[in-house]
Structure 1
Amino acid sequence: MKNKCLIIITLSIVLFYACHSKVEKNEHNETQISTIDSEGKVNAHFTFLDIWKKLPLKQLPLDETTNFDNVANDRFLTEEEKVVLKLDKIFTDYSQYKDAYSIRSAYKLEFSKRFYSIVINAFKGEHELEIILINYNDSEDIIDYKVIAYDEIAESISQKTATIEKNFVTIIDKTDLEETVIEISKFHVNASGEFNIVKDVFTSTIRPNEAILLNKTYKDTIQFNSYNDDGDYRLLFGKKDFQEVILIHNFDWEQEKKYNFSENETLQITWKMDSIWIAGDGETLDFKETIIDAKRIKK
């Protein structure tokens, strides 16, 4: 009888540990499954906001000059964190070359309460480093991103730095070959979190064969057609060498006789290419011919 009881107790202990081990194995396997479910949704143990809250906030304006000599060596992202941040939308070859990537979360910025801004450092192999500014919407999707700094130590011929302001990012590209070449690009960060390049050379139907400079004053002759004051900007329509021209105006033409022109009158206009904000489109910065003054040319 004692032997039977001993056998039963022994079998119970064996079964208990076997079941317990099986449960532990199953639980371990569950943590290793993909963080993307069958519907393509992130199945992580933390959220985008968990990552966001842990990042240090840097105040604007600031100079972004991260390179191999000064880059920090902490806060490297796990595979799960990379999925939550949807970095496969930026590094399209990541699944193929993920062993070559090391990515760390650097800091966060606050351009607006309407979207989130995160800066990451991406090591591409041992010789390339990209600093990337990423804007996310409330749905945690990437709105837009921009490589704002870059360093490479294979040949040490290319480097990128940036100055970040409240609504603008200015990027300086430096290339050292036989001579040093520096290119400067400026981007406006609109209210929707998109990056729009700020140009300084333009084209215009008023002078179609000439490069037009921002805020430089020009004088030309046009034929007046009409005013249209019904939109977000008040417009003057005319023709120059049979081509339609449209300029933004601020004339009180109904009250001031000198600006109350008749159709086909010949005008001498003073104008410039000026900045405007496109309403209802994330307050996007744009540029448009703007008339400063106009007067009739008497025949």
Structure 2
Amino acid sequence: MRKKIITYLVVSVFTLFISCKKQEQDTIEVEEIETSQNSPTKFKNSALSNAGKIEIGVIYTDTVQYVEFNDNYDDFLVIVNKGKDTIALIYNYNDPKFIKGDQLEIKWKIDSLRPAGDPTHLDYVEYLVTAKRIGERSSFMHEFNNLPLKKMPITENTSFDSFIEAEDMKNINPEPFNLSFVYKNWYVKGYNFKAISGYRINLSKEFYSVVLTVKKGDHEMETNLINYDLKGNIIDFKLIAYDEIAEGFFRSTSLLEKNKVTIKNIEFTDEGHESTDVFKINVDGKIRIQTIDEVLINDVISQLGLKKQNIKQSLIAQKLINNSNETIIVIPEIVEETQEYFSLNTHIVIYNNELQKITHKYFESHKTNDWVSDAIRLDGITIEKMNYRVKENTHAFGISVDYFGSSRVNPYHKHLLSLFVKENEKLINILHNYIFEENLAEWNGACEGEFQDKKTKFIFTTDITNEYYDIIVKKTITKTTNFETEIGDCDYNEEIKRETSVLKFDGNEYK
């Protein structure tokens, strides 16, 4: 028995069937299908007919757009589009060899079908009787190459004012660009969509990109960036410009660049409102919104003259400075990287969020910064939450780096702290890679062994050396010895030692 065939009401993207060896045909016919004798004389509405209830067995004629032939079911299907609907018609013969997008005149009818596995159930579905090609879809590449090529960056602000004369509006064929995928109601009466302008841009060798302007009725105009795969199928699209003249309250413009589009949305009301969104164009053609943090970090990388692919993305750190318009950002630049090893240069900046520029920066080479990961893994870079008052009216911020050893029987952890202050347009490192916390051990993996933990506390005094407050350093060193008792339990002895020292500023850094 055969499966129940369902008329699809959701528009889908189907594979474009092209065969170099196929012999195209303009007309197909099938043997007359005997209509069930006990069928009702009326049938529910079909997406292929606007005539209301239709009669069983009566042959109807319609114009549709061909999508594909599907022989994956017990009953073979010819899939077509009509308006916003996609319909599957039973056609149990060979592939008709039409091309996706072909305009067809079809004759079809409703007849009975008993689904596989349920012989008692009688269903009624569309059957294809004949089909004739009446128009071919223009090829995507032909229409794509006919569009003018523009170089980036491009300010996209197409509006009604861009079309002063009637001849300013072009008549762009929507079929090759599959605009009914972008606008689901493209073929529905009353919507009056019309593609009136467009151009192509080079974003990648892996996909094609066009910018098309569509007039929606008499009062709206939309411009979309659309990315297509190399076969002409839509990958993704984004509205990048908008204008309306019904009330004139809303407008969108954008800046198109190589791998991003910045969209500005403007509301012309009494209150007034303006917002900006940044979208990243991925290497696969997908368009996704960027977070504020991503936008900020990308801008910093650009201002530093670095390449994004040379940044250790997982170790980037940032922190908004309280009660200010500034953000601290740490950018680790890859110098060398293998599967088990990497070394990094240090870039630390203060970024003014209002001015959108770097105001202070610090650089240190991998040769001196200890930002190396090997058997002792560099696991994280953090901007400390607390600020350190290092002299009158001056606070330092801290950057900490954590390292972990990978050995189970010789575990290791080290937490380094560095302090920085602003000076003119620079950041000055006043405390360099101080071992603030350290944990190490040597044991048998079960019980016996020795463990040592070192923890540090800073106390800033009012004593001053070279204009900076002295720091009292209090260290707590805990040494733990694990041993196995006579009855096989694991027990331990603990010894705690405390040390105090003072760090003084020598004119360059604390020592």
Same fold (TM over 0.5): yes
Q: Which amino acid is 1:147 matched to?
A: L
Q: Which residue of 1 aligns with 2:141?
A: 49
1:35 aligned to 2:65? yes
SS in 1 for 2:261: strand
Q: Report the Cα distance in structure 2 between the residues aligned to 1:178 and 1:58, rounded to whole angstroms.
A: 37
Structure having the larger proportion of residues in helix: 1
Higher strand share: 2
Deviation track 1:117-146 (CA, whole Å, cap 9, x = no partner) reads 111111111111101110100121111101
CA 1:34–1:178 in 2, change beyond 3 Å: closer, same or farther? same
- Please give the alpha-carbon distance, in whole angstroms, between the structure 2 residues aligned to 1:151 and 1:163: 16
The letter for the 1-side match of 2:153 is: P
Residue equivalent to 2:152: 60
- The RMSD of aligned alpha carbons is 4.2
Mapped pair 1:100 → 2:192: yes
TM-score when scaled to structure 2?
0.37
Counterpart in 2 of 1:75? 170
The TM-score with structure 1 as length reference comes to 0.61
Q: CA deviation at 1:95?
A: 3.0
Whole-Å separation in 1 of the counterparts to 2:417 and 2:259: 36
Alpha-carbon offset, residue 103 of structure 1? 1.6
Superposed CA deviations along residues 46-82 of structure 1, whole A, max 9, x for unmatched, are: 20011011110011111111110113733223xxx32
Q: Does 1:192 align with 2:284?
A: yes
- Deviation at residue 150 of structure 1 after TM alignment: 0.4
Identify if the C-alpha distance between structure 1 residues 148 and 255 changes in structure 2 by more than 3 Å, giving closer, same or farther: same
Q: Looking at CA atoms only, which structure, 1 or 2, has the larger radius of gyration?
A: 2
1:180 to 244, 269, 272: 272
Structure 1 pair 186–99 and aligned structure 2 pair: CA distance change class (3 A): closer
Residues 194, 294 of structure 1: alpha-carbon distance in 2 compared, 3 angstrom cutoff: farther
Cα offsets for 1:267-290 (capped at 9, x unmatched):
5478xxxxxxxxxxxxxxxxxxxx
Identity over aligned residues, as a percent?
26
Q: Which residue of 2 aligns with 1:149?
A: 241
Are residue 111 (structure 1) and residue 203 (structure 2) matched? yes
Deviations 1:82-133 (A, max 9, x none): 2322112111122324652122241111111111111111111111110111
Query: 1:106, 1:120 within 8 Å by CA — same for their partners in 2?
Result: yes
| SS of equivalent to 1:76 | coil
CA positional deviation for 1:33: 4.5
- Which one of the candidate residues 341, 362, 372 is aligned to 1:252? 372
Does the 8 Å contact 1:55/1:105 carry over to 2? no
Alignment partners' CA distance in 1, 2:341 and 2:236: 27
SS of 1:120's partner is strand
Give secondary structure in 1 for the equivalent of 2:184.
coil
Change (3 A) 1:211 1:192: farther
| Equivalent pairs, count | 221
CA contact (8 A) 1:75 1:105 kept: yes
Q: 1:268 to 1:159 in 2, by over 3 A?
A: same
Measured at CA, do residues 192 and 124 of structure 1 come closer, stay the same or move farther in structure 2, by a change above 3 Å?
same
What residue is the counterpart of 2:261 in the other structure?
A: 169
CA distance, structure 2, for counterparts of residue 134 and residue 173 of structure 1: 19
- SS of structure 1 residue aligned to 2:170: coil
**Hey, what does 2:435 align to over in structure 1?**
296
Structure 1: runs of 5 or more not aligned: 1-25, 27-31, 220-228, 236-248, 271-292
- 1:12-31 mapped onto 2 (5 Å cutoff): none
5+ residue gaps, structure 2, are 1-26, 28-61, 68-77, 81-99, 103-135, 295-316, 331-337, 345-368, 379-400, 406-411, 420-431, 437-455, 457-474, 476-511
- Structure 2: distance between partners of 1:192 and 1:89: 19
